[in-house]
Amino acid sequence: MRKILEFSKGWKFTKDVTDGAAVGAKWDEVDLPHTWNNVDGQDGGNDYYRGTCMYAKKFARPEITPGQRVIIEFLGAALSAKVSFNNKELTNHEDGFSTFRVDVTDYLEDENVIMVAVDNSATDRIYPQKADFTFYGGIYRDVNMIIVEENHFEIIKDGTTGIKITPVVNLESKSAEIKCEAWTVGGDKVAFTVGDLTAEADVNNGYASCNIHMENIHLWDGINDPYLYDVQAKLIVGSEATDEVSTRIGLRKYEFDTERGFILNGREYPLRGVSRHQDRAGVGNAITQAMHDEDMEIIKEIGANTIRLAHYQHAQYFYDLCDENGMIVWAEIPFITQFMPNGYDNTILQMRELITQCYHHPSIICWGLSNEITASGSITDELYANHKALNDLCHEMDETRVTTMAHAFMLEPEDKLIEMADLGSYNLYYGWYLGELEENDEFFDDYHKNFPNRIIGFSEYGADANPAFQSPNPEKGDYTETYQCVYHEHILKCINERPFLWATHVWNMFDFAADGRDEGGKNGQNQKGLVTMDRKLKKDAFYLYKANWNKTDKFVHLCGSRYKDRVEAETEVKVYSNLDKVTLFLDGNEVATTETDMGTAVFKINISGNHVVEARGNDGNTGYKDIIEIHKVDEANPAYGLLKKEEVVNWFDKDTIDPNYYSINDTLGALKENPQSAAIVNNLMAKLVASRGDVAEATVGNKTLEKMLNKMTLVALFKQAGDAVPGDMIKQLNDTLQKIKK
Ligand code: GCB
């Protein structure tokens, strides 16, 4: 029988590859999981170390009997890993997010050295290369040693489990046909067990297959009842079992309807949830099981029933958690932002491994082919061909699931790319990067009207918020926690009113590292999370969703606990709660009782000094409350945000501008018509884009985006851009433009 042994402890690590092949004295001692970018990948500047680093581990010959094989299993090494064993190169694995295994048996000696050259440097072959997140380097998931008998289930190819269990559910007859397949090295028979049913199949040329019919099935029913069946497969030689693998499956059926959205097990089941990146503050992607568990607990707390696991294959442990907790999952590969003609093989490899390794998770319902792949560069025939190949591959490998794509907002709905996957989905940021909140609603209504036969979803939306930033007049681009609430209240309503959306995912559940970003008072982070990167602080908008999605865990949440010092004499107090009614008290005196609408109750109160604000609500006999303290102050607290911007707004509203000369009131299109003003604008745009990370940089040259931007005035752009352009610079710029005659 196979043995799985811990192999993560006692490694050596060096960044200095000139140390040569020998494990030098200067090497650090590390235990895996490990990344070399947990600090520099999160501190901004887009300057984290991307290169080749070496890991090595010495070990004595394991005790094996003749015929047994020794396999080293890597659960994740990014972005590629070249494994040498006793100085012989055995494999070069170019997928930073999947499991791979190496058979070292034939090269074993009494003392052995396994060396792994892990590389996250830039290339034009391996995805991801351009994207809004840090590409941490390292062996950032566990490593195991597996010892199998001579006769064993296939273990090397694409990190396979060696078996493929495919259930097809019949809801009417409450039965399922379960196709059981296995790939083996040797062996006579495979005995499959699914729940309490068994079946045997002969092995022919390393393949065995049989069907199991199951009556009275217990459905895997999302978060209501995520029932799992245990599956075992035993490889039999003569009358003895020599290998055993196990997995779990869930029996469920799902469909998509152009009007009703997602249907699970025959009933409407609106998919409402969040996206997740796997990294953490200070830890990078080398996260522990406890951290995975905590992420799942937070996602459950918000009441989500779906997770988009962006933008790459996540740990098997997390997909397991999704199965166990009934989450519906969108799984994807990092085919993202910018198409690389030389990356074709890599997309195929990554998809093949994703499907092979994740096939049994009932939580996964779709394979994401790409994300915003048209954001940068032009749309070419090669790009279409790559998508067609990926889509065909998914259907060939998996007849039970659908494919999807997350489109950039500037991809025209008429583009044929949209119909290359079974389902469509858009990432829209109207009300944050560009445009107004209502444009999200308009976009989906137009789309639905113009393409009534298409299934469409909302794969990303969000607004950055630094929880230290607060405002009595929240507006787009200010990075306040307050605006994040305004933004999400609008989108939540937009979603609720459009049941045809097959799934919606907040971008993002957690703040995450994007070392190329520098904005909103934090360097190196994308702050669209509803929870901070250390998972310690739930921003106010978290509770908006919890109030709407979590029906069981009753609560009252007062927004603005971090907005203590308030200049306005009449201030707004907002409560998010999943109770029907809440009552507000100011310094112990009742202010009002209000029914919550979409989980929200808003009060206005007059303040003059230091106050205690309390919200209370009841559910039967149980009372819930929350308390915050606020102070009336004369001067705005500068820690609350980007006051520079308010100064800016003030002067250009007042200043007199000569319309015969160029100014910041002109559109980018008009400014680009004159060579002098064009040079100024281009220079400015380059700087702006650089501060917004790789995705922004990659969008340069996108024709649709350029068309949209050309219609915007510089003033509008500055408002949009938040803190990217300091006030004095805007003034200077306007003075310069005012010297150029139209
Ligand atoms: C997107 C990308 C995602 C980014 C996000 C953002 O559309 O798919 O990777 O992080 O926008 O925050 O700009």
β-strands 503-506, 456-461 pairing? parallel
Three-state SS for 50-95 is CCEEEEEEEEECCCCCCCCEEEEEECCCECEEEEEECCEEEEEECC
Going 156 to 157 to 159 to 161, the CA torsion angle's sign is negative
Q: Are 545 and 530 contacting, i.e. CB atoms less than 8 angstroms apart?
A: yes
Rounded CA separation 647/641 (Å): 12
pLDDT tens sequence across 515-560: 999 889 999 999 999 999 999 999 999 999 999 999 999 999 999 9
Q: With bands split at pLDDT 50, 70 and 90, how would you rate the model's confidence at 646? A: very low
Residue nearest to atom 10 of ligand 1 (CA): 132
Cβ-Cβ contacts under 8 Å for 30 (sequence gap 6 or more): 11, 12, 13, 55
Residue 684 pLDDT exceeds 90 = no
Dihedral angle of Cα 645, 651, 652, 657, to the nearest 10 degrees = -160
* Res 649: pLDDT: 43
Q: With bands split at pLDDT 50, 70 and 90, how would you rate the model's confidence at 504? A: very high
414 catalytically annotated? no
- Sequential DSSP letters for 23-44: --TTPEEE-SS--S-TTTTSSS
pLDDT tens sequence across 420-467: 999 999 999 999 988 899 999 999 999 999 999 999 999 999 999 999
- When pLDDT is averaged across residues 359-363 and rounded to a whole number, the result is 98
* Res 642: pLDDT: 63
Question: Judging by beta carbons within 10 Å of its beta carbon (0-12, 13-18, 19+), is residue 18 exposed, middle or buried?
Answer: exposed
- When pLDDT is averaged across residues 349-374 and rounded to a whole number, the result is 98
Q: Which of 17, 51, 63, 12 is nearest to 34 (CA)?
A: 12
Per-residue exposure over 695-732, b if at least 16 CB sit within 10 Å of its own CB, e if not = bbbbbeebeebeeebeebbbbbbbbbbbbbbebeebbe
Rounded CA separation 351/331 (Å): 10
Residue 647 pLDDT exceeds 80 = no
Residue 492 pLDDT exceeds 90 = yes
Residue 704 pLDDT exceeds 50 = yes
pLDDT tens sequence across 39-90: 999 999 999 999 999 999 999 999 999 999 999 999 999 999 999 999 999 9
User: If you search the block for the tokens 């918020």, which residue do you land on?
Assistant: 465
132 CA distance to ligand 1 middle (Å): 6
- When pLDDT is averaged across residues 234-260 and rounded to a whole number, the result is 98
β-strands 328-332, 336-338 pairing? unpaired
| Mutation choice for ligand 1 from 127, 132, 274, CB with most ligand atoms inside 8 A | 132
Residue nearest to atom 2 of ligand 1 (CA): 132
Rounded CA separation 605/195 (Å): 60
To the nearest whole percent, how much of the chain has pLDDT over 70?
97
Ligand 1 atom closest to 512 (CA)? 10
Catalytic residue, chosen from 181, 372, 489, 519, is: 372
pTM recorded for the entire structure: 0.93
| Mutation choice for ligand 1 from 427, 434, 458, 691, CB with most ligand atoms inside 8 A | 427
Going 544 to 548 to 549 to 551, the CA torsion angle's sign is positive
